[in-house]
Copies of this chain bind each other. A is one copy, B any other.
Amino acid sequence: MELQEKLHNKGLRLTYPRREVVAILNAAASPLTPQSIYQRSVERKSDIGLVSVYRTLELLSELDLVRRVHGHDGCHGYVLASPGHHHHLVCRKCGKAVEFSGSADLSDFIAKIQKETSYKIDEHILQLYGICPKCQKERH
């Protein structure tokens, strides 16, 4: 479902700051923190406030239009969520993230853990880290 539509369903408005945050995330290759989103909005000379970045990310999270991606060291950033369930593979050098799917491959495994632990499992995070093709080529 589209941003426009989801907002409308809830009586919310499609505003300039919201468009901007989405546009910035859309143009990004790697997960962005609220701060870095704000930075980019300054560079773009779109005059949106940092507060709106925070508020918009919270909203987009609720609408499931944005996803949190955890850095293998520090903390998380946000990426635009393409429809459906996905996971992320992040380059440890340049941060470039790509999506992949494949919950199917996990479901047996998860079912096994569920049986073993008696937890009722309903959600998961799977994130892979490595070096992207481009960074593999560069010396150092």
Contacts and interface: CB of A to CB of B under 8 A. Distances in A.
A89 B128 CA distance: 17
Contact of A127 (B109, B117, B124): B124
A95 B136 CA distance: 39
Interface residues of A, number: 36
Given A70-B76, A76-B70, A113-B89, A132 B106 contact: no
A123 B119 contact: no
A102 B112 CA distance: 10
Contacts of A130: 114, 119-123
Contacts of A114: 130
Given A89-B117, A89-B119, A119-B98, A126 B126 contact: yes
Contacts of A106: 109
Interface string A104-120: 01100110111011111
A28 B113 CA distance: 22
A5 to B, nearest CB: 25
5 contacts: A70-B70, A70-B76, A119-B132, A123-B129, A124-B128
